[in-house]
Structures are given as C-alpha cells and as structure tokens.
Amino acid sequence: MATGGRLGLVPDDDTSRVWQPHRRPVFQFDNRYSILTHRLVGIYGLKLGLEWRGRWRAGAGGYLMSSGIPAVRPVPAELPTGSVAEDRLRYVVGFGEYVLVGTPRWEVSLPLQVGVGTHFSRYILPDGSRTNSEKTVIWLLEPSVSSHVRAFRWFAVGAGLGWRQPVFVSGELQRELNGPIFYGRAKLFLGDLYKVVRGRQRLFSQQGLDQPYGN
C-alpha cells in the first residue's frame, strides 16, 4: 500500500520521513573531540536554534577548547629560556542541519557549521607568569554526519564524525587547526521528558517509537 505525495507514490515503510510536523526549539550541549597537533582535545560548545517540520534545523552556538595544547610554532626569542607555549581557540558558529533519514526511533542528519573566532598562543614563563600573543581571526567550516537512536521517547544515544577546515588563514595555522572532529553523546528530549514528569507518559515508554512515521 502507498500514499500519494508531490513526487509520486511513497511506500508506507519508507523511513526517509521524519515524525515532528511542527516547529520547536533546539537546545544542545555540543561537546566534541578533535585531533590538534597530534593530540586529543576536548571542545565544549552550546547550541541554540529552531527545528522546522522535523527536517531542517538552524541556529547559532559557541565553542572553546577545554585546555591549551602545546604549540608547534617556536616561542618568541624575546621570552626567557624555558618558556612554554600553548595554543588556544574560541569561536562562534551559525549552523544548519538536514535530517537525511528519520523515524521516531532513529535518525541520520547532515550538520554544517560556519564559524568565526580567535586563535592565540599563551606563553607560560619560568616564573609562572603568563602572557598572550596577538589574536588571529579565523574562519572555520565543519561539515559532519550525525546520528542517534532513542532508547526511550525522552532519551537517546548518538555519535557523529566530521572535519574542521580553517579558511582565509595562513598555511601554517591551517595545518595546526584542521583535522577530524568526533563525538558521542546522550540526548534528552525535553518535551517528552516533560510529559513523563506530568504523568502523561510512563518513564520507560516505547510508545510510537517503532512506527514508520511517528504518531
């Protein structure tokens, strides 16, 4: 059996459709990891946005590195011998995300982030004092693939993989900052959690999760 659509007939078991027919806000702690100068680095972020019909998401966010990483470039000659340099990175983004395949149980999406921020080196002198280099403005592109699976209506686990590409910067800085990004996360769906708190759903409800289109 099939149902009609603008592009023709769509089978009832087609999983390319998503299940939220309305607009809703999106709020996400977006903590991810990356490889910078051959080291694993945590990058903490927060994203706010809006979702349309369960298919498109857009908004803005901000990120910063959890800690400095040893700089590849040498310490300036005017600093005392024994000084150590760390790279620091902070940036804000605008993001868009398209849900490629989605059901009430799981989804695969294609997020793209365009960011601008600052990069600088922090120098730690032998006496413990610190000084910073001049800040460099950087632009970033971060395409990725993301997915999640709901264990319950209000809780899911997910993962993603992508790439960070600096643009409009020197080749040396580009080599330092480009690299893979990856993450694993737990996701709370606040609307469904609110229904549990209000007693309108059971805590570990599976209601509607195995329907092709949702409820």
Q: Express each pLDDT in 19-65 by its tens digit.
A: 556 788 888 888 899 988 788 889 999 999 999 887 899 999 999 98
List pLDDT tens digits, range 72-84. 778 888 888 888 8
CB-CB contact of 159 with 184 (8 Å)? yes
CA 37 to chain CA centroid, Å, is: 21
CA–CA–CA angle 175, 182, 100 (5° rounding): 115
The pLDDT confidence band at residue 9, using thresholds 50, 70 and 90, is very low
Could you give the CA distance from residue 193 to residue 196 in angstroms, rounded to a whole number? 5
Question: What pLDDT does residue 20 have?
Answer: 58
The pLDDT confidence band at residue 90, using thresholds 50, 70 and 90, is very high
CB-CB contact of 139 with 170 (8 Å)? no
- With a CB cutoff of 8 Å and minimum separation 6, the contacts of 105 are 149, 150, 209, 210
Please report which helix (H) or strand (E) contains residue 171, including its range: helix 171-177
CB atoms inside a 10 Å sphere around CB 27: 11
CB-CB contact of 34 with 45 (8 Å)? no
List pLDDT tens digits, range 159-210. 999 999 999 888 888 888 888 999 988 888 777 777 778 877 777 777 767 7
CB-CB contact of 73 with 214 (8 Å)? no
CB-CB contact of 142 with 93 (8 Å)? yes
Question: What pLDDT does residue 65 have?
Answer: 87
Could you give the CA distance from residue 69 to residue 87 in angstroms, rounded to a whole number? 5
Domains of the chain: 15-197 (2.40.160.20)
Average pLDDT of the chain is 82
pTM for this predicted structure = 0.77
| Tokens coding 64 | 């910063």
What is the maximum span of the chain, computed from C-alpha positions, in angstroms?
Answer: 77
> What Å distances lie between residue 58 and 41, 93, 148, CA to CA?
26, 11, 18
